[in-house]
Structure 1
Amino acid sequence: MLHHAIRAAVTVALLGTFSGVAYYVLCIWSATKFLRARRLGASVSANSSFPPVSILKPLKGTDPEMHESFRSHCRQDYPRYEIIFGASDRDDPALAVVERLKAEFPHRDIRSLVCPQVLGTNVKVSNLAHMVPVAKYDHLVVNDSDIQVSADYLRRIMAPLDDPKVGMVTCLYRGVAGPTLGSRLEAVGISTDFSAGVLLAKELEGGIRFGLGSTLAFRRRELQSIGGFEALVDYLADDYELGARIAAQSLEVKLAPVVVETHLPAYSLRRFFEHQLRWARSVRGSRAGGYFGLILTMGIPWALLGLLLSRGANWAWALLGVTLAARLCMAVVVGRHVLQDRQMPSLLWLVPLRDVITLVVWVASYAGHKVHWRGDDFYLKDGKLGRINS
């Protein structure tokens, strides 16, 4: 009986490994398609209208390299735009960084807004709901406070919105790791796993139907048509939800060719795991079926299981080698070539460890609904946050 059970488990591990390798190959294919399209559309058309833009940046606390990230938004090669920063607490330390920015760039239209009335459990979205009415312009860009951009950022993300069939533009991002192992594991996940999944979803689903918090560019009328940010104040994955609701209006969500950057905190392993668990439960709440299917993409853990169950058989070692080669190839194509992540070659050795941790997080995500976010504990139900009373 035990012999038959082990044989069945080996068969399952084999199927899981083959499925994972197929996923890696598909990710490489989707990444090469994106690279080809990016090369063909490398220049922004001179006929683009470049409408005036309001950049909305919600704040809560400080992030690594925050001042430099803010400065990058003030150096845009773009005709007319404003930057509005919003915080719920007038003593938020990020507002002091904004004051330094105003002094450094007096010619830029920079404003800060205190939003003491909290409209829902997601304070970031609550701040955005207060910021939209004071924005001067009808084209809006929202990105996280830790995002650093190139000088042509606004030109590249606004150009697709000239097409009335496009309702939102979003973009990929890379993470610059801090000195800790947790921070490096986070960077590896962004560059070799998360972004690969986004690119493959774009191809398999005929476009993306969600947004990424690294960049959300849209018109005011599309925001109003879905009920404004007020409709999203209790959602954890507000970026996903905003993109999904705009896509549901029969509008396209475009993935811009530009890649932005975020400097990651020096996560301890505990904080890294908490962050991964929050992200995993958020995705589970937004895309339950797709999230469950992630188990079929974990080629390295399946190959390791096959190696263990076969007691180190030669064929299992060979299969692990093929799986590892395919996985690292995907990491290089997506991380180094698509995201232009210069640190990726030095972090490749962490990919197998990161994939095993991904499996652990996937299992743990089904063990509850609690998430820890910005110092507070919440429960998550149907994608919405509920505060846990301490």
Structure 2
Amino acid sequence: MMHALPLSQWLLAGGCGAAALYAICAAVAMPFVSVARHRAVRGGHPLPAVTVFKPLCGDEPRLYENLATFCEQTYNRFQLLFGVSSYDDPAIVVVQRLRAAYPQVDIELTVDPRVYGSNLKVSNLINMAEYAWYDVFVIADSDIAVEPDYLETVVAPLADASVGVVTCLYEAKGIGGFWPRVGALFINEWFVPSVRIAHAAGSSSFGFGATLALRRTTLEQMGGFAVLRDCLADDYWLTRHARELGLRTVLSPVVVATDVIERTLGALWRRETRWLRTIRSVNRPGFAFLPISFTSPWLVFAAWLALHGSSTGHPGFAIEMTVCASAGLVARVLLHARCAHASRSFWRDLPLVPLRDGLLALQWLGATVGTHVVWRGSRVPVTSSVASVTPLAAPGLTPNPNRSIVDAMETSDGG
């Protein structure tokens, strides 16, 4: 007599089916080209002058090459504003090289050690804001590389008064060995597809440090950078504050490039666990369901359930699990193919896919606990809200014509 399957196996089968469905959606959601490049549609209106914020902290591989792409913009008028917190920061030498190589670009540097909260990047932005001359801001992380028409494209949507922030997705390239390649798969084959699925479903609850473009007035209405001073996910909260003002978040068609440089498992673990804890801090229900997106372990469970169902006299169940495992496997390989830049990288990294998914599952378990993360050598608390943040005295967003960048550097040094 055939016995009914236990509830635990039905629950496991449901997880396998959900994971297979997610893999199919992820494969379909990815574009057919690796980097989307679109010219901005101006609509007859001239694009405004822009200040590009580039907060820096130390040297890193390809820092000069990545920053140089911002110097090569075809945009008509823009200020490239760099900021560091110490005169000993090696990034200063890189900025000096950029000034020598691109004398035609308005490149300015602030050095200011003042700290306003637990997020040192936001403290840097607060200190830089006083020297932003233009009324449209583009904030981009230091490890981002862009195409020459990048500014033109990401700024164009701000001509619509209903748009609050424009943000960009990014694709990753591993720099320097095995673990950077594994780290690139984290971004390209897990993070980016999950965002595209959410966006296709109508969600705009996102914001990425790769690019945040907004008007000065929008930032002023939300309280300036100071409201983000104790936020771990400052990019997410910036866009959320704009949405609370009734303004839309727009995902640009531009996909910028970023580098993964962690050469050891420990360094990669810390970085990716920090990302997962950040997700936990802003979206606990979403974080709870993340394991569904780690496809490979579920495929193993589905294959085991198929064999177990066949051996215990449940042929229908075995067939269902076989179909589930097969569909999930095909979809996961297709997703890998659509994220690969060439056939060589497809075959080279295909064996890493199970490792990548399995590592994600372990990192998710690690991210379920912990109250702090380490970012650029500083400990930042994992918080789920910024409701307790109150205004503070800090440099304003209005340019001060009576002080130059050199004055700011001298004042900071003397303080």
After TM superposition, the score normalised by the length of structure 1 is 0.88
Which whole-Å CA distance do the structure 2 matches of 1:343 and 1:172 have between them? 24
Cross-structure match for 2:366: 364
* 1:282 pairs with 2:278: yes
Q: Contact 1:84–1:112 (CA<8 Å) still a contact in 2?
A: yes
Deviations 1:14-48 (A, max 9, x none): 1111101211222344335x98xx79x65634624
Which whole-Å CA distance do the structure 1 matches of 2:304 and 2:69 have between them? 49
Which letter maps to 1:357?
L
Q: Contact 2:119–2:380 (CA<8 Å) still a contact in 1?
A: no
- Relative distance call for 1:295 and 1:253 in structure 2 (3 A) is same
* 1:377 pairs with 2:373: no
Cross-structure match for 1:387: none
Deviations 1:298-334 (A, max 9, x none): 332122134346667675566433312111222333x
Q: Secondary structure at the match of 1:217?
A: strand
Q: Secondary structure at the match of 2:255?
A: strand
Cross-structure match for 2:23: 24
Q: Secondary structure at the match of 1:201?
A: helix
Which letter maps to 1:130?
N
Which whole-Å CA distance do the structure 1 matches of 2:28 and 2:159 have between them? 29
- Point out the more displaced range, 259-268 or 188-197: 259-268
- Point out the more displaced range, 195-204 or 300-309: 300-309
Where does 1:66-145 land on structure 2 (aligned, <5 Å)? 66-145=63-142
After TM superposition, the score normalised by the length of structure 2 is 0.83
Q: Contact 1:17–1:298 (CA<8 Å) still a contact in 2?
A: no
- Relative distance call for 1:309 and 1:31 in structure 2 (3 A) is closer
Q: Secondary structure at the match of 1:85?
A: strand
- Relative distance call for 1:79 and 1:42 in structure 2 (3 A) is closer
Which residue, 314, 320, 329 being the options, matches 2:334? 329
* 1:195 pairs with 2:192: yes
- Provide the aligned C-alpha RMSD in A: 2.4
Q: Which runs of 5+ in 1 are unaligned?
A: 385-390
Q: Contact 1:247–1:253 (CA<8 Å) still a contact in 2?
A: yes
Q: Secondary structure at the match of 2:133?
A: coil
Which whole-Å CA distance do the structure 1 matches of 2:327 and 2:361 have between them? 20
Cross-structure match for 1:388: none
- Relative distance call for 1:104 and 1:270 in structure 2 (3 A) is same
Deviations 1:151-205 (A, max 9, x none): 010011011111111111111111110233221111011111101111111122x
Which letter maps to 2:101?
E
- Relative distance call for 1:101 and 1:115 in structure 2 (3 A) is same
- Point out the more displaced range, 89-98 or 364-373: 364-373
Q: Contact 1:237–1:383 (CA<8 Å) still a contact in 2?
A: no
Which whole-Å CA distance do the structure 1 matches of 2:207 and 2:374 have between them? 22
Q: Contact 1:171–1:214 (CA<8 Å) still a contact in 2?
A: yes
- How big is the shift at 1:264? 1.7
Cross-structure match for 2:408: none
- Relative distance call for 1:344 and 1:172 in structure 2 (3 A) is farther
- Point out the more displaced range, 315-324 or 104-113: 315-324
* 1:269 pairs with 2:265: yes
